Amino acid sequence: MPTVFVPPLMRTLTNGVERVEVQGTTVRQVLAALEVQYPGVTARLCKDNELLPGMAVGIDGHLSTLGLRQKVQPTSEIHFLPAIGGG
């Protein structure tokens, strides 16, 4: 099952759990499974069925350009990250 690394600011929703294994073949499915275990996670990461502006998802060390539609493998590691900007 894919492993989600829970960002520190969201660990209050997971009772301090840092990593969660959940089923899914896309980021959207993984997030839905995570929401079942830890209600409120989706609201922290998404709005209108898309990632919040300023949020990015990393899969196996690569930033996804497909967001919630990105496919994941059973051994994938998923990180939700604040997008970095600057000038």
DSSP string, 28-82: HHHHHHHHHHSTTHHHHHEETTEEPTTEEEEETTEE-SSGGG-B--TT-EEEEEE
Is residue 17 helix, strand or coil?
Answer: coil
pTM equals 0.88
In whole angstroms, what is the distance from residue 25 CA to residue 71 CA?
A: 6
Q: Are 57 and 79 in contact (CB under 8 A)?
A: yes
Structural domain includes residue 9: yes
Q: How many domains does the chain have?
A: 1
pLDDT score for 29 = 97
**Full residue range of the structural domain in which residue 73 is found:** 3-82
pLDDT score for 15 = 93
Q: How confident is the model at residue 86 (pLDDT cuts 50, 70, 90)?
A: low
Structural domain includes residue 62: yes
Structural domain includes residue 87: no
Summarize pLDDT for 30-80 with one digit per residue, the tens: 999 999 999 999 999 999 989 998 889 999 999 998 999 999 999 999 999
CATH of the domain at 34: 3.10.20.30
Q: Are 10 and 16 in contact (CB under 8 A)?
A: no
